[in-house]
Structure formats: structure tokens, C-alpha cells
Amino acid sequence: MSIEFGPVSLPDEHARAGALQRHASLLTPERSLGRLERIGAWVAACQGRTPPKPLRRMRVVVFAADHGVTAHGVSRGGPGTTRELLAALETGGTALNVLADTASAGIRVVDVGTDTDTPGPDHVRRGSGSIDTEDALTGDETEAAVLAGVRAADAEIDEGADLLVPADIGAGVTTPASTLVASLTDTEPVAAIGRGSGIDDNAWMRKATVVRDALRRCRPVTGEPLALLRTAGGSDLAAMTGFLAQAAVRRTPVVLDGLAAAAAALLAEELAPGARSWWLAAHRSAEPAQVLALDHLDLDPVVDLDIRLGTGAGAATVLPMVAASVRLLTEVAARPALPADADIT
């Protein structure tokens, strides 16, 4: 398997420094806005201009897929759960709908792997293999899923997106995501897995067993991102990886959500070194593997709200804060200049 991404250029450090300098001239005590100043400076660096332009088209792209490991009882969601969630998303009935609407962010759904009789143009396969005993995908399916993510990023950017959020919908996704993170950070299963959809102790132990067995299968391919996705990922995680890498190549800022996005981010950084400079970690999840991944990427989450829901909910919660950090740079009045002969003693 071979997919090559273009070079990733770094955000503009002159624009970042200019934004921080601009904050120092505003009618607020110096450094009094804390993290908001740094977020605004990050957006300025990504845009390559100070002050940055207001964020007009923030977009959440949801990658949907089913996972074979749900047959082992590692998730509260069983067969059909993913389709139910997608139906609720379509009718505006999910937490993501509410949070994205609050942030004035649009939503796009990319079905890359649900168990459906009516596949769309980006559909790779009907669910992934059970990663404890078989590969999640074939090599060709892995490449197809990564390229579906690339196309989704290109489509959104070509349509004018100025900030992106990759999100997930899929029962059982935290099991392969935890496996990927544990493999890439050399972490034992019991230290990497969480409660996911709210599983009890027995389901947690089943999940630990699945991750342990999947990690054994990962050992020969840990240094090969695409082979690792093939072995223990899934079409949604592969698509998110391609999406994140391509967004960085195209100099577009991304806000990362929970565990699935963090796992994909680890792999995207391997495929497109430097991509992490274009990402902002929205929140610290209740999933241990997400924290491990963000620490590995040296990304500091903006908030910690004890959110364990995926689906882009945590990232959508932070979007208004990101938009506000940009407006602070453009709308807060500057401090009046002192007259040249002013006595400041």
C-alpha cells in the first residue's frame, strides 16, 4: 500500500507573533485573555495574516462506519445502532446537531463503512473485520477509505471551508481507536481503554481482551501507518486519517474532537509530518487513549468538560470559542496612544 501526501508547510509564525503583539495593544490588560489570545494567534498563523479573517464557514464532517468487534459485546451499541444515529443526525435530533447549530457550523456525512444495503459513492465495505482475529480492511479498502477522506477535505476546502472538524459515528469505534493509540504509544490495553458508550465492568473486560489480541496482530506493522489501519482500524478511522493529512497539506485549520479523531491524528502525522501544527485539540476526553494520543502529539486541549461522547460533540462545543478568539483580534478597540509629551512618571 502506498499513498503519498504533499509536503506540509508550517503555519505563519510572523502572523502568530503579529496577533500576539496586536493583543498587547488592545484595550484589555496585557495577556488578560489567556488561552483565547493563543487560539486567535493560531488561527492568524493558519490564515497567514494579522488580524485573521472572521470564520465564516466552519464545517463538521462525520465519517460513519460499523465495526465487527461489536459482536463481542464491547459496546452498548449493537447491530443497527449506527443507522439509528445517522437517522437522528439527518432529522436534527443529536447532540452534534444542537452544538453545531449553536456554532453556526454545517454538517456533512460521509458513509464509508456502515452495514447498509444502499451504499453511497464513498462506501468502502459493510462494516470492518473483527480486529482481534482478522484484519479490519483489505489493503485496497484501506487505500479507498483514506482517499475518501482526502476527497472530503478537498470538497470542503474547495467550497470555502475555513475551519474543519472530523467527527465519527459508529458503534464500537473506541475499540479499534484505542488499539491504534495503544500500538503507536506502546501502552498496555488496560491503560488505554475506557468505558466508551458507557459499558459495565464485564464489557470493559471483554474490550480489554479484544484490544490485547488486536495488539498482538499489530506488532509486525506498527511502523507502517496504512498497514496498521488495515490491521486494526476501520474505514472511518482510515478516512479521518486521510482527511486530517489533506487538510494540513492544504493549510486549513482543524479542531480535533475525541478518541477517534485523536487516533486518526496520530496516523495522519506519520503520513504527513508536521500536520499537527494545523490542529487544535478541543477537549480532554474521558477516554484514556485520547489523552495518550494528545500527549504524544504535544497538543493541549482547550477545555476539560468530562465529555465521553464522540460524534464531534466536544469539538463543536469549542467552535464558538474559536470564532470569538478571532473576533477579539478584529473588534476590540485599541488602547489610545499616549501623547508624545505625556508625563507617565
Q: Is residue 340 part of a domain?
A: no
Say if residue 338's pLDDT is above 60: no
Determine what percent of the chain is predicted with pLDDT higher than 90: 85
Residue in the block written with cell 460513519: 64
Q: What would the pLDDT profile of 177-210 be if each residue is shown by its tens digit? A: 999 999 999 999 999 999 887 889 999 999 999 9
Task: Report the range of poorest mean pLDDT among 5-14, 73-82, 93-102.
Answer: 73-82
Are 47 and 83 found together in one domain? Answer: no
| Tally of domains in the chain | 2
Are 45 and 142 found together in one domain? Answer: no
**Domain carrying residue 20:** 13-52
**Stretch 78-92: mean pLDDT:** 90
Are 162 and 35 found together in one domain? Answer: no
The DSSP output letter for 253 is -
Mean pLDDT of the chain: 94
Give the C-alpha separation, 47 to 102, whole Å: 24
Say if residue 93's pLDDT is above 70: yes
Give the C-alpha separation, 2 to 291, whole Å: 29
Are 30 and 67 found together in one domain? Answer: no
Burial class (CB in 10 A: 0-12, 13-18, 19+), 320: middle
CATH code for the domain in which residue 238 is found: 3.40.50.10210
Give the C-alpha separation, 257 to 318, whole Å: 9
In this prediction, residue 30 carries a pLDDT of 83
Torsion of CA 140, 230, 148, 288, to 10 degrees: 180
Burial class (CB in 10 A: 0-12, 13-18, 19+), 191: exposed
Are 96 and 134 found together in one domain? Answer: yes
Q: What would the pLDDT profile of 296-320 be if each residue is shown by its tens digit? A: 999 999 999 988 888 999 999 999 9
Torsion of CA 129, 78, 177, 146, to 10 degrees: 60
Give the C-alpha separation, 168 to 100, whole Å: 14
Say if residue 343's pLDDT is above 80: no
Burial class (CB in 10 A: 0-12, 13-18, 19+), 209: middle
Phi, psi values for residue 333, rounded to 5°: -70, 150
Report CA-CA distances (Å) from 302 to 112, 144, 172, 189, 313: 29, 33, 26, 26, 14
Q: What would the pLDDT profile of 110-144 be if each residue is shown by its tens digit? A: 999 999 888 899 999 999 999 999 999 999 999 99
Say if residue 337's pLDDT is above 90: no
Q: Is residue 122 part of a domain?
A: yes
Say if residue 157's pLDDT is above 80: yes
Are 141 and 115 found together in one domain? Answer: yes
Question: What is the sign of the dihedral through the CA atoms of 167, 172, 175 and 176?
Answer: negative
